[in-house]
Amino acid sequence: MELCYRSGGVPTGESLIPVPGRQQRKLAVRADPASGGKRKRRRDEFSGHTREAHEVNEADELAGEDGTFEVAAILAKRRRTMYIQGIQIPGLTVPKSMYRNWIPPLPISDEKAVLKDFLGGEDARKALRIEIGEDVFTAVSLDCFSIYRPHKLAAPHRKNGQVYEMKFANEFVSLHDISLKPDRDVWYLDGVLHDGRRRTYVQRVPFNLLSIGGYENFTQHTVRSHIWLQSVCGQKHDVWYCLENPSSEYRRYYDAFLWLADFAKHLIDFMYNNDTISLKMLRANFYNWLQEVHGHDLAFQQWLAEYPDSDFRCVAAAHPQFLYNEARQLGPGYALHPIWGEVHTKMLNAVPNQESQEKKTVVTPYVYNCFKSVWGKQMELRQPSRATFRACEDRKKTMRFTVPIHHHNTMPYCLPTEERVPKVVGRSKVRVGDVVQFPNDGKNWKGKDDVWYAYVQGIDKPKDRTALQIIWLYRPSETTCSKMHYPSANELFFSDHCNCGDPKTYEDEVVGKTSVAFFESSKPSNVDYFIRQKYVGDETAFVTLKESDFQCKCQLDPDNAIYQTGDTVLVSKLVNGPAQILEPVEIVAFAPEGSKSLIRVRRLLRRGRDYGHKDAEPNELVYSRRFENVNTKDIIRRCHVRLYNKRSKERKEIPPPYCRKGTGDAFYILCKEADSNVVGNELQELEEPSQISLRQGFDPTETHPQRKLRGLDLFSGGGNFGRGLEEGGALQMEWALDWNKWAMHSYRANLQDPNRVKLFYGSANDFFAQALNGKCSDLIPQLGEVDFISAGSPCQGFSNANQRPGSDQSLRNSSMIASVASYIDLYRPAYAILENVPSMASRSHEPNENPFAQMLCTLVGMGYQVQQFVLDAWSFGNPQSRSRLFILATAPGLDTPPKPPLTHSHPERTTNRSLGQAANGHRFGERYWGPTQLDYVTIGEATADLPDNHDGRVSCIPFPDHQVTRNESTLTRIMIDHIPRFPRSQTFVKACKANQMPPIQVQTFHWESQFRAREGSRSWERVNPNALVPTVTTQCQPADSFSGAWVHWDASRCLTVMEVRRAQGFPDQDVLVGSPAEQWKLVGNGVARQVALALGLSLRQAWLANGHVYSESPATTVASEIACSDPRITPTVATRRETGVTPGRLPRSTAGPRSGVPRAKEGYAALHDVPGRKAKGRVGSSKELAIVLD
């Protein structure tokens, strides 16, 4: 058979063809031997299971948007040896009749002659006549059919002048796509017509009418035998073709259509049975109604089994126009159901649009004063109304922004009157509590100030010179606020930087004293400076000043956290276990007084890794009967473990965070190890919590007595950020706003109660202007109602992908972080989180225009405690190379959320990075390194369960969003076919240099673009399935030379919406409203769900601390089955410091009294993620084992 390249597909059969050879010989696809690939085998002797580890040989260059970050060349996760036992031939995209020398099954007949022959006599007409209700028509059966598009030619190509076919010309088309354009286009069919006696083959028959029957009939369970087409010729004779079986090459298109047509019937019947149908009803009642009406029918059960969920909202959102067209044809009443206003892209009205009136970024006077040097032209200062101003002042007082935080007796309010004026001390006596001045030595610090300030915490009086024990005080410019405008010129910051371990500082070096008011929110008139916050150098965080801060940590006993038997913790370096991995264990006993710092733990083994269950989630544990003695220094942090049953997992009823595959240190248990006398069954299912001794983690389904924080979701997008934060358990969003129609309707579609959250579909500037004016509205929260604000402000102005950062639109987008600051200034929430790209802190901005530092100045100037984290999406389970900057603001005096612990490892060759350089020359915002409990997730692993959608031409039944956003031309698909699959990460340019690309593709490529034609161009690059996918942006642009890695690793298409949803962590049940391109945009604009969840759990920890709630479940007794082999170990209680890290001390060779902020020891970068800790044990009088960090 001679083939012509009209279709872009290889016209062969669809069966799985075995590789020839004796006994089905396996063909191994291996790496180039020159790459040095090795395989290692290790054995975990404790668990008795063997695992294989593969060294990495293959690099995947991943571009990012990280500004000053050093972007890593991240290696592929592992190189697997693949054994091919057969080849799956891709299906055809055009009918066989389009190929030369193809022989039809029967001689080709003329349709007009066939109909004349079939309808020749009255008896023949009567035999073909069908009555359905009031409709009477003539029906002829159509078998072995194919449906395809007409042949059209495009204009001559601008490169070579040749004429090619139009996009999709002669290609197969699904029948539900035909119904989207009724009476507009002509389509073609090939097939066999028969009247029960004669069979004739017709080819290229034009038609334009499709009819589906069986609606509003509850006794009919499927529409399979009630689908008709009417050709142009058949309209003259009132003849319809009843569809029977499709051709083999067209079957994949028709099977998908049949399933969707049955869904349309069931949905319309559901509407017929109810007055109003909405997405909420579709989720709550549709499945049960289906089972009640059709559950006894076998065909229906087969249809239902093809969709793996009881929630059909995603199906309705993926095909709204087809469903609406089918329903609307039955009567105008069907068009009135609310569901169309929720999902139909042309009818969205569930969230009313708010008229836009503001043209500039509306800000408060305070914020304008802070940002006017950066975006003065883009902002508009707006004064609040009198009522709003009074309410705002009351809110500030309530949240303790304008009142002293601490009422103290031990520390002076300010220095004595006679010593307030700075002066040369000379023989004047320096006392503990003084704030003194030292000359700037000009060596390491960037500041140009003449003097430094320090607080005297102690005095040593040897015989020769009096030495001072001091804690340095910082100016705003000496913190991460840098040289940006700070609103309080007379404010200083306490620090955690003492002179312990430095060369001694002597009294005769003091050049003056300064009067300072502590704990005040503004400078009193009778002092020089005020201090209300402490700057923590190791974390570059601003926190509320406490009385304990007046003595450095070197002088204090460390804080301890209490552990009890039954607690679950993560430990490192288990005996017989991998050295650099964290393992969950249950504490079952502690060492008695006088013995070594050992604890007895029960190993909670991984069901997938240690027992070989391939379907087990990575965070599914087994309650084992194996115990181990562990040193207390190896306890890293707590973890959450809950018991669920098998039925909960099958019904997808395990709630977050436990269903998020390990994010947030959350694990679950379904079974335990069987007793030793049980034969043939290694594991037994657990049903009751009483069967285990561990103290379970918190139950997210229980109502907590503490009121949740009420949240305002700014720039909410589709809600992935807000919902992830909510899943932490401390927060409930009550207001959300976004200007994008599809984003707001997607947000609404995923609410359990659409009326619970007030949705503002409009401009953030209009929203804020109304709030300033005190407008009474359900959509606008009143002052005092908002406890939490989250904001993923537009990042386009800061993104490295933006080629016009100085344009008006880019500057307007960038200025929206000033809008976020204004929202915080007005509402004064307890907590706020701002998300943006790390390049917001990049040095590429103009001098004195650092938006990140100015945001810090603005928030700290308000009085907020401020932290900043740069979180990598892959460190929390996202298979994506995405790093984002988060700024957290906490009201004065409240507990701050800890930095989310990393749960997944870094890819190989990940390099260090930082946000910038502090005034002391040290880098801040560096990437955290340390052991984790899970490997990072590759994009191949995250999408392994998705069905094969080789060319993206067919709808996917189980995953409706598994569809492409780009409909490529035939020439483009041929080009994609010729980009090699191996080695991974091949591009168009690489394929050309390897002579893999047909000449026509080479001729028509954009070689005039120097970026696309360069050596390292990523244009049309295949994604490496064994690595991370690049940062998901708002568009799929495979031709882009910098971010073009969007071609699937094996298939002849770009990635689908479902695949990038997995990369961003969108749960499969989440609904996205809009076309595939709009859905992709919603995904790219969102925050990775696992990162949001991790932040939500950190917020929960602070929320509980502020509510004086610690333990969510009562202590349980250790089960009697624990038989400690060591008689010295008895159950008791252990305490261990977990809330902080002892600061590292500078070497004594450091020059100057203030040569640098003390840096944490290697690996001590996080609040409570502390790998490689050194510990020593001591036994207290209460028989508590205290684990104290050095």
- Residue burial 928-964, b: 16+ Cβ < 10 Å; e: rest: bbbbbbbbbbbbbbbbeebeebbbbbbbbbbbbbbbb
475 and 596 both lie in a single domain = no
**Tokens 């069905």, residue?**
947
Dihedral of the CA atoms 474, 478, 481, 484 (nearest 10)?
120
Q: Could you count the other beta carbons within 10 Å of the beta carbon of residue 320?
A: 21
The model's pTM: 0.85
1187, pLDDT greater than 50: no
> Pairing mode, if any, of strands 541-544 and 529-536?
antiparallel
**Pairwise CA distance, residues 175 & 581, whole Å:** 53
Cα–Cα nearest to 206, from 110, 86, 292: 110
680 versus 1023: the higher-pLDDT residue is 1023
**Pairwise CA distance, residues 528 & 436, whole Å:** 12
pLDDT in the model for residue 10: 35
902, pLDDT greater than 90: yes
549 and 632 both lie in a single domain = no
Q: Could you count the other beta carbons within 10 Å of the beta carbon of residue 508?
A: 11
Give the domain range for residue 287: 108-298
Rg of the chain, C-alpha, whole Å: 34
461 contacts: CB under 8 Å, gap ≥ 6: 467
Q: What are φ and ψ of residue 116, in 5° steps?
A: -65, -35
pLDDT digits (tens, 9 = 90+) for 781-800: 999 999 999 998 775 555 55
421, pLDDT greater than 50: no
The distance of Cα 157 from the centroid of its chain, to the nearest Å, equals: 42
Q: Which of 37-51, 268-282, 1012-1026 has the least mean pLDDT?
A: 37-51
Percent of the chain scoring above 90 in pLDDT: 57
Report yes or no: 517 and 494 within 8 Å, Cβ to Cβ. no
748 belongs to a structural domain: no
pLDDT in the model for residue 1: 34
Average pLDDT over residues 74-79: 48
530 and 637 both lie in a single domain = no
pLDDT digits (tens, 9 = 90+) for 191-208: 999 988 899 999 999 998
583 belongs to a structural domain: yes
113 and 206 both lie in a single domain = yes
**Pairwise CA distance, residues 129 & 507, whole Å:** 112
SS3 track for 968-1020: CCHHHHHHHHCCCCCCCCCCHHHHHHCCCCCHHHHHCCCCCCCCCCCCCCCCC
pLDDT digits (tens, 9 = 90+) for 317-364: 999 999 999 999 999 999 999 999 999 999 999 999 999 999 999 999
Distances (CA, A) of 885 to 65, 882, 888, 1111: 11, 10, 10, 31
58, pLDDT greater than 80: no
Report yes or no: 729 and 752 within 8 Å, Cβ to Cβ. no
**Last residue of a domain, which of 298, 317, 347?**
298
* Cross-strand partners of 194: 141, 199
- Specify burial of residue 439 (Cβ count, 10 A radius: 0-12, 13-18, 19+): middle
499 and 624 both lie in a single domain = no
582 and 669 both lie in a single domain = yes
522 and 573 both lie in a single domain = no
Average pLDDT over residues 666-685: 80
585 belongs to a structural domain: yes
886 belongs to a structural domain: no
Active site residues: 795
CATH number, position 467: 2.30.30.490
pLDDT digits (tens, 9 = 90+) for 16-57: 333 333 333 333 333 333 333 333 333 333 333 333 333 333
338 belongs to a structural domain: no
**Last residue of a domain, which of 275, 298, 321?**
298
111 contacts: CB under 8 Å, gap ≥ 6: 193, 202, 205, 231, 233
488 and 523 both lie in a single domain = yes
**Pairwise CA distance, residues 54 & 296, whole Å:** 51
pLDDT in the model for residue 576: 56
Residue 79's pLDDT band (boundaries 50, 70, 90)? low
622 and 668 both lie in a single domain = yes
Average pLDDT over residues 678-693: 75
HSE value, Cβ hemisphere, 13 Å, CA-based, for 468: 25
1118 belongs to a structural domain: yes
**Last residue of a domain, which of 298, 325, 350?**
298
454 and 583 both lie in a single domain = no
176 belongs to a structural domain: yes
Report yes or no: 469 and 498 within 8 Å, Cβ to Cβ. yes
Average pLDDT over residues 726-751: 96
Average pLDDT over residues 907-922: 81
281 belongs to a structural domain: yes
**Pairwise CA distance, residues 18 & 334, whole Å:** 51
514 and 648 both lie in a single domain = no
Percent of the chain scoring above 70 in pLDDT: 78
How many domains in the chain?
A: 3
pLDDT in the model for residue 803: 56
Distances (CA, A) of 943 to 78, 664, 1061: 16, 21, 10
CATH number, position 566: 2.30.30
**Pairwise CA distance, residues 110 & 750, whole Å:** 53
1146 and 1179 both lie in a single domain = yes
**Pairwise CA distance, residues 1186 & 590, whole Å:** 11
